[in-house]
Amino acid sequence: MKLIENWFSERYSDNLQLSFRVKDQLLSLKTDFQRIDVFDTYDFGKLLSIDGTVQLTEKDEFVYHEMISRVPYNMMKRKPETVLIIGGGDGGAAGEFIKLGVKKIVNVEIDGQVVEVSRKFFPELYSSFSNPSVELLIDDGIKFMKKNKGTFDLIVVDSTDPVGPAEGLFNIDFYKDAKGALKDDGLIVTQSGSPFYQPKGLSLAASGMKSVFKNIKVYTAFIPTYPSGFWSFTMGSDAEIKPYFHNVSPGKYFNKGILDGASLLPEFVKELI
């Protein structure tokens, strides 16, 4: 009788952690940018962790990926035709824009090893990169934006949290570069952390975007394997940001009601913005 249990724990603070029982650790890798681990969990299928924080699991990745793509897609007056994804090396966000019929998706991931890990362990997500609409570049997103002015309708910042390699993706200079790479009526969206455990992350993203764009809008989604289960996304644009309902066919999480309601925020979240 085997009495040893294997658990992977993400520490949300010194005083709180969520633990997944795992069948096995499938990979542990130190890249030039970060540490990557893959676990085979009992309840959530395969789990990708970067620097000890859960990035995605097979069971609930649909929430994050649907919400970082379909909400901004439907909040722009003109259907976005050119999308830049910064980060997103797993392929999940690109996959959603393929489903939405976007024909030009440029995915700039700084760490080629993330793509390699996705190829091996998350082939369904990785398969996005073989779609003819998707161009994958292993490059620094900030440098890429500086070289590609006025090019994109929509920029999606699908990054890790504002510590480590993604640090430069949460400040005013970054948003200025993003504005430069966007067309005049373009929109940027970024994941902006847990309003409950990381209120400063959301405040930072919101205030940074406010100083660069005429309009911002925050929305939230329920993601069980992220800290507190509650996650925020922040959008900025010089055009009006509101539901235009280009394509609200239901996913597993997203639907028309979610588009209507995702920006209706709890009072303590409104106070952070």
Q: Phi/psi at 252 (nearest 5 deg)?
A: -85, -25
Catalytic hit among 153, 158, 161, 177: 158
Q: Does residue 245 bind a copy of itself (CB under 8 A)?
A: no
Q: Phi/psi at 74 (nearest 5 deg)?
A: -90, 0
Is 51 in the active site? Answer: no
**The binder of a copy of itself chosen from 45, 140, 199, 230 (CB under 8 A):** 230
Candidates 214, 151, 156; CA nearest to 180 is: 151
**The binder of a copy of itself chosen from 24, 29, 35, 43 (CB under 8 A):** 43
Q: Does residue 228 bind a copy of itself (CB under 8 A)?
A: yes
From the list 27-35, 81-89, 138-146, 257-265, the region that binds a copy of itself by CB under 8 A is: 257-265
217 contacts 72 by C-beta, under 8 angstroms: no
Binding mask 156-175 for a copy of itself (x = CB under 8 A): --------------------
Q: Does residue 260 bind a copy of itself (CB under 8 A)?
A: yes
What radius of gyration do the chain's Cα atoms show? 18
Residue 144 CB, nearest approach to a copy of itself (Å): 34
Q: Which amino acid is at 207?
A: S
Q: Does residue 133 bind a copy of itself (CB under 8 A)?
A: no
The residue ranges that bind a copy of itself (CB under 8 A) are 9, 13-21, 41-44, 60, 63, 196-197, 220, 222, 224, 228-230, 250-255, 257-258, 260-262, 264-268, 270
